[in-house]
Amino acid sequence: MNGLVSLFRSLEGSQTVGRGPGFWALFAIVLAIACAYPLFSDGYTVGNTVYFFVWVFIALSLCLIWGYGGSLSFGQTAFFGIAGYGYGVLTINFGSAYGFTFVALFLAIGMAAMFALLLGYFMFFGRIAGVFLGIVTLAVTLMLERFMAQTAGPEWRIGSARLNGFNGMSAMPPLTIPWPGGPIVLIADIGLYYFVLGLLVLVYLGLRILMNSSFGNVIVAIRENPERAEMLGYDIRKYQLITFVIGAALAGLSGVLYTVWGQYITPSSMGMTAASLPLIWVAVGGRSDLTSTVIGTLVVLAAFQALTIYGSQYALVFMGVLLVLTVLIAPNGLVLGVMNWLSRLISRYRGAK
Amino acid sequence: MALLELHDLNKHFGGLHVTNSVNLALEAGEIHCLIGPNGAGKSTLFRLILGEHHPGSGNIFFAGENITALKSFARIHRGLSVKFQVPGVFKGLSARQNLEIALQSRHRGAELAQEIDRLLAFLGLEAEQVQTAGNLSHGQKQWLEIGMAISLKPRLLLLDEPTAGMSPEETHMTGEMVQRLNAEGMTVLAIEHDMAFVRQVARRVTVLHLGQVFAQGSIQQIVADERVAAIYLGQAHA
Ligand SMILES: Nc1ncnc2c1ncn2[C@@H]1O[C@H](COP(=O)(O)OP(=O)(O)OP(=O)(O)O)[C@@H](O)[C@H]1O
Ligand SMILES: [Mg+2]
């Protein structure tokens, strides 16, 4: 019981909106609905929902690095792509037997994290910050896109995996759980849905604990005033690097899940549009809060898809308008604004009673 | 024994010789004030001591150790702490969280909360604890940052114009606080334009002018020095 109380305590704090029994009751209801939802829907629609969930991880990675850490990174799609291609190369070469697809998932995320460690080391210890960090990460992302786009020739292969240039890589095996009665293959419907939903809950709660810990305090302190943070004795470059690597791993998780969902990955998933869309979801939701980021991302994605039916150019214009509106009306994010307004309302109501 | 020793420190900004062969020895346990006209290079000297700037030549010794090549955070770990000239608080965070970030590396859990409460009371910021630090008055920001700086329990506390923006009463209170901290064993080096404060606390005074040590001595000696009056105190502050 005490353990449970202290667990809840570590999930709450000044770095995240939402606390107390009311919030967690709501959380439990939403989770229960999410768990029950496949029972009332068809496989195709459920698979489509998984697609939305896949993007939440990259949004959370940006929330961590940009919203909490204060470093605007365009590199998340690069980590996304590296992990996506990594998973493809590994599983096309080594197959899906003995649960290897899950090993590949971890290895692919590890590749993205290693790449971030290297890139981040040069940036943070080379004291690249602010706008320049954005420029360097964008350059790396676009370079990777260009590089992958010119790998059409047959000489571009790793083992038996052809990189295929602009058309991208496809037909990698989906996540496969070895099972006595025959392997369980998580194709893009109910099985994958529960797997991704589980990951989402774990990552969300894990990040809440991280951000409300003393580590999270240092991260926001660096965002607010790096000089002061260092003069309190914190090795700020180390903290920035760790945050950057965690963020890269989350973006990598998105990349792998995207790849297993559609069984393809193309260079355009690292292009300019792909790099800027997550920024919009996170900015519109509320980059400095985890819950706002999750809600914002899902809402904007759903709206985007609904509009795409009328033509994707309208959807992109809509995103631009949304971003401008956010910057003008609620610079900290529309969802976060609404949530803060609600919590003020609730506390006033409590005060009046 | 000298706690802090500066040996022949030099620093140029382009053609500007901001720190010119500065030698300074700070005794353990003293309150030392650094005064001088605007642009004399006082804040720059702090940044050299803290490792934010690196000297072109010269060495910095702290408690006998050569710290010239150490990173800033490592110098803080050795026992240095600073309050900057422009209040360096975490503007977007509450006053309470500001102190939590300063205190969390030496206290945890319930003890941490207690320690924050104690410090808030000491600083007279209890009523402001949930306020965003950026919304505090200038004086309150100064207090908050002083609170963060002393919460590290440093051996040497560097204060860059701690009383700027404070009323005479507040300035006097700050002086008393510095004396109390000093009585507990903290060595203090303070940059200050307010001569009332300097008279109240300083055991020794160093005058910096055009990047050089211009004069040094007790407050009586410095005030009586006509050369100092000519370059600095004569203007407005005597
Ligand atoms: N980073 C820098 N780059 C270039 N010049 C600088 C830099 N920092 C300070 N200076 C210059 O060095 C000189 C000394 O500045 P410093 O801030 O040390 O003066 P100060 O004695 O603290 O003055 P004040 O009493 O106004 O605070 C000034 O002429 C200033 O313009
Ligand atoms: Mg100064």
Please, what are the domains in chain B? 2-89+138-237 (3.40.50.300), 90-135 (no CATH)
Contact between A224 and B72 using a beta-carbon 8 Å cutoff:
no
Of A160-174, B74-88, B111-125, the one with minimum mean pLDDT is: A160-174
Structure tokens at A342: 């609600």
Q: Is the CB of B142 under 6 A from ligand 1?
A: no
Taking the centre of ligand 2 as the mean of its atom positions, its distance from the CA of residue B162, in whole angstroms, is 11
8 A C-beta contact, residue B53 and residue B47: yes
At residue B237, does pLDDT exceed 50? no
pLDDT in tens, A114-127: 999 999 999 999 98
Residue of A nearest to B91 (CA): A224
pLDDT number for residue A261:
94
Q: Which protein residue has the closest C-alpha to ligand 1 atom 13?
A: B39
B 206-235 near A (Cβ less than 8 A): none
Residue of B nearest to A125 (CA): B71
Contact between A231 and B77 using a beta-carbon 8 Å cutoff:
no
Among candidates A290, A321, A336, which has minimal Cα distance to A59?
A290
Average pLDDT over residues A253-276: 92
Residue A242 lies in a domain: yes
Burial of A81 (0-12, 13-18, 19+ CB in 10 A): buried
Global ipTM? 0.93
Contact between B148 and A228 using a beta-carbon 8 Å cutoff:
yes
Average pLDDT over residues A337-342: 87
Q: Which of B93, B97, B152 sits opposite A232 (nearest CB)?
A: B152
8 A C-beta contact, residue A135 and residue A230: no
Residue A341 lies in a domain: no
A54 vs A64: CA distance, rounded Å:
17
Mean pLDDT of chain A: 91
Residue A198 lies in a domain: yes
Of A182-186, B11-15, B162-166, the one with minimum mean pLDDT is: A182-186
Which residues, 6 or more positions from A345, have their beta carbon under 8 angstroms from its beta carbon?
A: none
Average pLDDT over residues B36-53: 95
pLDDT number for residue A353:
58
Candidate from B10, B13, B85 with most ligand 1 atoms within 8 A of CB, to mutate: B13
Residues of chain B with pLDDT > 90: what percent?
Answer: 83
A25 vs A22: CA distance, rounded Å:
5
Contact residues, chain B, for A224 at CB < 8 Å: 90-93
Residue A103 lies in a domain: yes
What is the tally of structural domains in chain A? 1
pLDDT number for residue A1:
65
The amino acid that residue B160 corresponds to is D
pLDDT in tens, A295-339: 999 999 998 888 888 777 788 888 888 888 888 888 889 899 888
- Å from B58 to nearest chain A CA? 22
**CA distances to A165, A271, A332, B29, B72 from B7, in Å:** 62, 55, 49, 20, 19
Residue A303 lies in a domain: no
pLDDT number for residue B43:
96
Helix (H, G, I), strand (E, B) or coil at B159: strand
Among candidates B66, B20, B67, B31, which has minimal Cα distance to B209?
B20
Helix (H, G, I), strand (E, B) or coil at B127: helix
At residue B228, does pLDDT exceed 60? yes
pLDDT number for residue B238:
41
* Residues paired with B22 in a beta bridge: B9
Q: Is the CB of B15 under 6 A from ligand 1?
A: no
Average pLDDT over residues B98-106: 95
Candidate from B18, B195, B206 with most ligand 1 atoms within 8 A of CB, to mutate: B18
Residue of B nearest to A233 (CA): B73
Q: Is A348 on the interface with B (CB under 8 A)?
A: no
**CA distances to A9, A14, A16 from A212, in Å:** 9, 7, 7
The amino acid that residue B153 corresponds to is K
Question: Between residues A274 and A78, which one has the greater pLDDT?
Answer: A78
R_g of chain A, CA atoms, integer Å: 21
pLDDT number for residue B152:
95
Displacement of CA A147 from its chain's centroid (Å): 24
pLDDT in tens, B126-182: 999 999 999 999 889 999 999 999 999 999 999 999 998 888 998 999 999 999 999
Structure tokens at A246: 């965690």
DSSP state of A173: P
Q: Which protein residue has the closest C-alpha to ligand 1 atom 9?
A: B44
A286 vs A294: CA distance, rounded Å:
9
Residue A309 lies in a domain: no
pLDDT number for residue A57:
98
Contact residues, chain A, for B102 at CB < 8 Å: 232
Q: Is the CB of B184 under 6 A from ligand 1?
A: no
Residue A38 lies in a domain: yes
- From the CA of B160, the nearest ligand is 2
Q: Is the CB of B38 under 6 A from ligand 1?
A: yes
pLDDT number for residue A319:
84
Average pLDDT over residues A56-85: 95
Contact between B92 and A224 using a beta-carbon 8 Å cutoff:
yes
Beta strand extents in B36-181 (DSSP E only): 57-62, 65-66, 80-83, 156-160
- Å from A214 to nearest chain B CA? 7
Q: Is A211 on the interface with B (CB under 8 A)?
A: no
Cβ-based neighbour number of residue B182 at 10 Å: 17
At residue A21, does pLDDT exceed 60? yes
Average pLDDT over residues B100-116: 93
8 A C-beta contact, residue A216 and residue A210: yes
Q: Is A224 on the interface with B (CB under 8 A)?
A: yes
Residue A180 lies in a domain: yes
pLDDT number for residue A343:
81
User: Which domain covers residue A184, as residue numbers?
Assistant: 2-271
